[in-house]
Amino acid sequence: MIDDIKKDAQSRMKKSLEALHQNFNKIRTGRAHSSILDAVTVEYYGSQVPLNQVASINTEDARTLSVVPWEQQMVPKIEKAIMTSDLGLNPASAGNVIRVPMPMLTEETRKGYIKQARQEAEHARVAVRSVRRDANGDLKSLLKEKEITEDEQHQAEEAIQKLTDSIVAEIDKALESKENDLMQV
């Protein structure tokens, strides 16, 4: 019973960490990487689909992405989808290839992105603490129903706290890495 609670807490905390990494990928740095366009969706035969399902996305150089649609008529739709996304990118098409240059980040935009990254990290920390609270609540209810002893509850709470501390440390490490990435010119 206690092991199930620990495993559930661990998997939920790991999911919070994965969500943080996905959110960090949406915050663009000055360098080009294909995951920047992961959130972009394109209308394809009446439904919205992710861009990577209708085109191949490659990194040409450190500051340019190239998007090659699998169908020629998708070029204008993909261009429009990239422009209307909230990424601040201006694609340019040359025949069948759409090039997406990464604009230089100003000091002001860098600070804004760092602020956004810190908010995402704080949301992840709150989610992890919420999982800890739920797990501790489950342990208390087991104690109340006399399914576990107080010593078992105390040991399990310590284990969950250690897990929480390690996940929060990983969140802080990921935030520090993202801040360093954003501040590089």
Same domain? For 91 and 127 the reply is: no
Single residue among 45, 80, 101 that ends a domain in this structure: 101
CB of 30 within 8 A of CB of 105?
Answer: yes
Q: Model's pTM, two decimal places?
A: 0.71
Q: What band does 28 get if pLDDT is binned at 50, 70 and 90? A: low
What is the number of domains present in the chain? 2
Q: Are residues 40 and 54 in the same domain?
A: yes
Are residues 79 and 115 both part of a single domain? no
Judge whether 132 and 183 are in contact, CB under 8 Å: no
Kindly state whether residues 77 and 118 are assigned to the same domain. Answer: no
- In this structure, the answer to whether residues 111 and 144 fall within a common structural domain is yes
Q: Name the domain boundary from 101, 118, 150.
A: 101
Residue 58's CATH number:
3.30.1360.40
**Domain that includes residue 69, residue range:** 34-101
Same domain (yes/no): 110, 22:
yes
pLDDT digits (tens, 9 = 90+) for 118-173: 999 999 999 999 999 999 999 999 889 888 888 888 999 999 999 999 999 999 99
Which of the two residues, 24 and 155, has the higher pLDDT score? 155
Contact 42, 49 (CB under 8 A): yes
Residue 138, both tokens: 């489950």
- Distance CA(124)–CA(118), nearest Å, equals 10
Q: What is the pLDDT of residue 85?
A: 81
Contact 11, 70 (CB under 8 A): no
- Three-class SS string for 82-119? HHHCCCCCCCEEECCEEEEECCCCCHHHHHHHHHHHHH
Q: Exposure string (b/e) for 61-87, b if CB count within 10 Å is 16 or more?
A: eeeebbbebeeeebbeebbebbeebeb
Q: Can you tell me the distance from the alpha carbon of 128 to that of 139, in angstroms, rounded to the nearest whole number? A: 17
pLDDT of residue 30: 65
What whole-number distance in Å separates Cα of residue 9 and Cα of residue 135?
A: 6
Q: What is the C-alpha to C-alpha distance for residues 183 and 49, in angstroms, rounded to an integer?
A: 33
CATH number, residue 178: 1.10.132.20
Residue finishing a domain among 77, 101, 125: 101
Say if residue 49 is in the same domain as residue 89.
yes
Question: What is the pLDDT of the chain when averaged over all its residues?
Answer: 87
Residue 4 shares a structural domain with residue 23: yes
29 has a pLDDT exceeding 80? no
Do 55 and 83 sit in the same domain of this protein? yes
- The verdict on 118 and 68 lying in the same domain is no
pLDDT value at residue 86:
74
Q: Are residues 94 and 117 in the same domain?
A: no
Measure CA 116 to chain center: 12
Q: For residues 122 and 169, state if they share a domain.
A: yes
Torsion of CA 33, 35, 40, 41, to 10 degrees: 130
pLDDT tens readout for residues 96-117:
888 888 877 788 888 888 898 9
